[in-house]
Amino acid sequence: MTTIHDSLVLDITKVHDTRGNLSVIQGDAIPFEMKRIYYLYDIPSGGRRGGHSHKNCQELLVALSGSFDVILNDGKEQKTVTLNKPNVGLLIPNGIWRELENFSSGSVCLVLASAVFEEEDYIRNFADYILSKNRIS
């Protein structure tokens, strides 16, 4: 069973240059093949995103600009990870509930996903998520 401890904070390659830094995610830097890339931005003050779990999809979240908190929950434990550097990502395996909040002004959240969008892969109700975790354990 997947737990919040399976989520990893990953350092993303950073190439420092006097003209500005460059970060690269390629090859085997993440443990899945990217099938979808999207980003969240213009989140209003006090706004929240996420509020779901994926049955199969894995994701890597990166704060390209600004900062935000990712609250992870595996049905037994909860932890918060603050993302605020464009060369650090949070790998979230499937089966972990996530909520994003406390977005700073101008923040941008990049998401690299292991699957294309399929509504059936989502669990969008926390009570249903807990029920699904109890069926597995």
Active site residues: 52
Judged by phi (left if over 0) then psi (alpha if -120 to 50, else beta), residue 62 lies in beta
| Contact yes or no for 83/61 (Cβ under 8 A) | yes
Helices (H), 1-137: 126-136
Residue type, 112: L
Measured distance CA(29)–CA(112) in Å, rounded: 12
DSSP helix/strand/coil, 36: strand
| Contact yes or no for 112/59 (Cβ under 8 A) | yes
**Nearest C-alpha neighbor of 66 from the set 24, 102, 12:** 102
